[in-house]
Amino acid sequence: MRATMKTLKLSGVLTLVAALLVTPQAVTAAEPQPQPVLQAETTATVESRVDDALKPVDDVTFDECTANHQETETFWFKNRFNICRTQLLELRYQKLVNGAVVHVGSSFFRETVIGVAQDKRSEIKFGYSLKYIRGEREELFDNPFSVVLECGNDDQERTSTCDYFQVPVDRSVGAWRAAGGEPIWWTATMATTTVPSNTDDDKKWQNELRGFFWFDFYRSLSSPIPPPGTSRTPKGRFRCDSASYATRGSRCVFTGVVPTMVFELNSPTYGESSQLIKDAQEDITKTAPGKDPTLKVPGKFKESTLSYLYSGYDVERKKDGSRRKVRRACVDAWGAKYTIKDGVKMQCDEYPFASTYQNAALAKQKPFTFGVRRITASHNIAGGNLIGDWYGREHMLDGDPFYVVVR
């Protein structure tokens, strides 16, 4: 069951006839930060991430957000294309009585914000919903409350723009109540024209025009005595690109979540690949070469990530080197004729995948290694197809981190 959301009152920071109170996290906006590499900005259970991986472009809804967002999280990510946050928002009313500021009542609303990255475009639809829950004592429904999307460049070494309608939606508290939580939408279109060339990765990715952005919502509750009470929601962050090799999914992804590739252990088409991954992640000695039980493989959920190696950038042909090393390991374990077993065609499967920067050719640093096994050729081919389809479906760019889960 989802935990009950609580409102936290600010201590005496606003001396207005009407004051806006939200959680401390909502008042203090985060400073710009670099692109996350391994860590997500929020926590999630393995079950939620596994389920998210099934339908990565399935739009998040306001009801889903209310059901899934936990108050310990800044955001809930349905997947890397969908972000949301919900909280109980208290509008706290004050009046001047004999020269003193007196709290006379409050209105409580369910505030929910979502972001939905649009398929095959550098565009995100942001939604805002404010649904009346209850009131306490006197409520000043004539007081104006306004909200507007804010969006901007999160990396000053890049020239990036976020284009959207910047006029606030301004209504009385009573009008917001009457609207019944009907969402308001903003569409933001992103573009990046200049990127840095300081590192080898920067130079390699020049033509992708990766841009990094932030967004939040700015709110204002006015009163007869200025200034108004104001606050912002926590900042969410995302990346948009123009990479020619990544054409599926949205061109914008939220960077606060690490995507998860899912293999089914009982799959009739690639189950043998699933078993290899499971064994390699849990006990490397169950795979070949598998001689040192202290070694591990990366990619296990919440332990370490794999990172995607796009073949167009593999100028040193590390994928080919990985496959040669893997085949040698299979020959050592099962002999030169390992490709046939009881009349069935076999192939040498490996984990981590050749299409990662942690493949067998690059597994040179402890505590990481690789594992191989000869499996039915059809299972190896089907597993490879799953991997390639997943990279495309998740709009993975070179270097993007991810987990692999077997269930």
User: What is the residue type of 406?
Assistant: V
Instruction: Convert the pLDDT of each residue in 365-407 to its tens digit.
Output: 668 999 999 999 999 999 999 999 999 999 999 999 999 999 9
The tokens of 388 are what?
């390639």
User: Buried (b) or exposed (e) across 197-234, using 16+ Cβ within 10 A?
Assistant: eeeeeeebbeebbbbbbbbbbebbbbbeeeebbebbbb
As a whole number, mean pLDDT of residues 188-203 equals: 95
Give the range among 7-16, 49-58, 132-141, 251-260 with minimum mean pLDDT.
7-16
pLDDT grade, residue 225 (50/70/90)?
low
Position 40 confidence tier, pLDDT thresholds 50, 70, 90: very low
Query: Does residue 363 carry a pLDDT above 60?
Result: yes
pLDDT range class, residue 248, cuts 50, 70, 90 = very high
Instruction: Check whether 346 has a pLDDT greater than 80.
Output: yes
What is the pLDDT, as a whole number, of residue 50?
A: 60
Percent of the chain clearing pLDDT 90 (strictly above) = 78
Give residue-wise pLDDT tens across range 67-92.
999 988 999 999 999 999 999 999 98
pLDDT at 262 > cutoff 50: yes
The pLDDT-based confidence of 48 (bands split at 50, 70, 90) is low
CB-neighbour burial class of residue 280 (10 A; exposed 0-12, middle 13-18, buried 19+): buried
Pairwise CA distance, residues 245 & 240, whole Å:
14
- Looking at residue 20, its pLDDT comes to 46
Give the 3-state secondary structure of residue 359. Answer: coil
Res. 115: pLDDT tops 70: yes
pLDDT band of 41, cuts 50, 70, 90: very low
Closest CA to 35 of 250, 205, 212: 212
pLDDT by residue (tens digit) across 158-171? 999 999 999 999 99
The structure tokens listed for 180 are: 């019944």
Local structure of 273: helix, strand or coil: helix
Residue 6 has pLDDT above 90, yes or no: no
For 138-148, write each residue's pLDDT tens digit. Answer: 999 999 999 99
Please determine, for residue 56, whether its predicted confidence score (pLDDT) is greater than 70: no
Assigned token pair, 154: 């999160």
Rounded distance, CA 45 to CA 254, Å? Answer: 18
Residue 383's SS3 state is helix
Q: Which residues of 162-176 are buried (b: 16+ CB within 10 A; e: fewer)?
A: bebeeeeeebebbeb
Res. 35: pLDDT tops 60? no
How confident is the model at residue 18, as a pLDDT?
41
Structural contact between residues 23 and 8, judged by C-beta atoms closer than 8 angstroms: yes
Average pLDDT over residues 301-308: 94
- Predicted confidence (pLDDT) at residue 13 exceeds the cutoff of 90: no
Q: Which residues contact 63 (CB under 8 A, 6 or more apart)?
A: none
pLDDT (0 to 100) of residue 53: 56
**151 compared with 22, residue with greater pLDDT:** 151
What is the residue-averaged pLDDT of the chain? 87
- pLDDT at residue number 197: 94
Nearest to 150 by CA among 240, 86, 215, 211: 215
Q: Alpha-carbon distance 139 to 221, whole Å?
A: 13
How do beta strands 123-137 and 82-97 pair? unpaired
Q: Which of 2-16, 156-170, 218-232, 334-348 has the lowest mean pLDDT?
A: 2-16
The better pLDDT of the pair 258, 9 is held by 258
Closest-CA residue to 368 (of 285, 314, 288, 294): 294
